[in-house]
Amino acid sequence: MRQSRHEAESDMTASIDGERSAAASRTAWRMAGRIGFYTLTCLIAAFFAIPLLWLISAPFDASPTYAVDFPEFTLANFATILANPYALPSLLNSVILAIGTAAFVVIGAALAAYALSRVRIPGRDALLYLLLLLSSVVTGTAAMVPLFLLVSEIGSAIHPMLGIDSHFAVMLVMSSGLLPAAIFMLKDFVDGIPPSYEESARVFGASPFRVLKDIVVPLITPGLATITVWTVVNVWGNFLVPFILLRDADRQPAAVLMRTLYTEAGQPNLALLATFSLLYSLPVVLMYLFVSKRYGFRFHGGIKS
């Protein structure tokens, strides 16, 4: 009896111990899980950060190599940009292409989006469906061959401005690629504006043109700004279209020159590559910061074509 009681007691303590140790091991597991989770997060953050480090360190390094190391600080590398006859002109070409394309896209999309949103044009829904389909199907890749031929054969035959080596032709090609998505984004925007503003302006006798200029344009300005930034970022980074349609090195934008700088024969000039990369990337980063600060980096489906 006594014996068994003792046994029972020891059993009880054992089971309490067991529970304690189970709880301890659960906490330990949770801790381990936590540590594992943060380690994994750090690794993934590192995976995204490491390729970018070179872009920050190398431009200021007195003797840049492929490796990332703490730079021996200098600004002398930026002089290589001035020394290269193509570097600054290529950035200017990028600016020209971006502004020209943005003008086409913003004007074309604003007119079309407003009319498609407010007026029931016959066949509107079919048109919108076709636009959505075209914009995702006819990509630069898929249309590489016909676009090259369209510009080099037909365009050149009509006028040099529509042929190879023409900025104007590149602008037309790029804006038509961006227009369908731009029309959709803006149409969504106009759909969200109640027509009562325009209505009351009309009641007070303003002409349609006046209403558009004084009521509609100010209302959709944030939408226009979004489209502009989106277009500029797309054109700024676009490689394929100018690569195919611009052969003359004097007319190529930074995207194409960048590749020339690292594929041309001989030892690549790392000081030039690093500083040029940074200078060429900076506008995109600034625009991203501007947009995310001003409007919050809102999610638009298919923002990147």
Partner 1 sequence: MTPMPSPPDEPPTVGPADRAGAIADVAPPQRGRRTATDVVGLGTARAVWFVAPAMLLIGIFLLFPALWTLYIGSTNFERTGPNHVNPEFTGIDNYTSVLSDPSFYNSLWVTLLFVVFSAVFGQNGLGFWLAWSLRRVDRRVRRTVETLVLLAWILPSSVVAFLWIAMLDRHGGTVNMLLDMPGTAWLVDYPLASIIIFNIWRGTAFSMMLYSAALSSVPPSHLETAQLAGATGAQTLRDVVFPHIRGHVLTNTLLITLWTFNDFSPFLITAGGPGDRTEVAAVYLYNTAIRDGDLGYSGAISLLILVANVVMALTYLRMLRKRSAT
Q: Which of residues 148-177 bind partner 1 (CB under 8 A)?
A: 148-150, 172-173, 175-177
For residue 228, state whether it binds partner 1 (rule: CB under 8 A).
Answer: no
Q: Please state the closest distance from residue 5 (CB atom) to partner 1, in A.
A: 37
Q: Please state the closest distance from residue 176 (CB atom) to partner 1, in A.
A: 4
Task: Please work out the total of residues on this chain that contact partner 1, with binding judged by CB under 8 A.
Answer: 106
Nearer to partner 1, 10 or 139 (CB): 139
For residue 290, state whether it binds partner 1 (rule: CB under 8 A).
Answer: no
Token pair 């279209």: residue: 241
- Per CB under 8 A, the segment of 13-21, 23-31, 73-81, 296-304 that binds partner 1 is 296-304
Identify the H or E element spanning 101: helix 87-118
For residue 271, state whether it binds partner 1 (rule: CB under 8 A).
Answer: no
- Of the candidate residues 59, 114, 251, 271, the single one contacting partner 1 (CB under 8 A): 114
For residue 115, state whether it binds partner 1 (rule: CB under 8 A).
Answer: yes
For residue 29, state whether it binds partner 1 (rule: CB under 8 A).
Answer: no
Distances (CA, A) of 176 to 101, 125, 183, 305: 9, 20, 11, 12
- Per CB under 8 A, the segment of 1-9, 76-84, 85-93, 129-137 that binds partner 1 is 129-137
For residue 71, state whether it binds partner 1 (rule: CB under 8 A).
Answer: no
Q: Please state the closest distance from residue 17 (CB atom) to partner 1, in A.
A: 24
Task: Give the length of the chain.
Answer: 305
Report how far residue 61's alpha carbon sits from residue 162's, in angstroms, rounded to the nearest whole number.
43
305, burial (CB in 10 Å: exposed 0-12, middle 13-18, buried 19+): middle
For residue 224, state whether it binds partner 1 (rule: CB under 8 A).
Answer: no
- Per CB under 8 A, the segment of 6-14, 15-23, 70-78, 190-198 that binds partner 1 is 190-198
Is the sign of the CA dihedral 232, 237, 240, 245 positive or negative?
A: positive
For residue 262, state whether it binds partner 1 (rule: CB under 8 A).
Answer: yes
Which segments of 155-269 does DSSP mark as H helices, in order? Answer: 156-158, 167-191, 196-203, 208-211, 217-219, 221-237, 240-245, 254-263
Q: Cα 233 to the chain's mean position, in Å?
A: 5
Distances (CA, A) of 276 to 171, 193, 286: 23, 43, 16
- Of the candidate residues 47, 70, 73, 204, the single one contacting partner 1 (CB under 8 A): 47
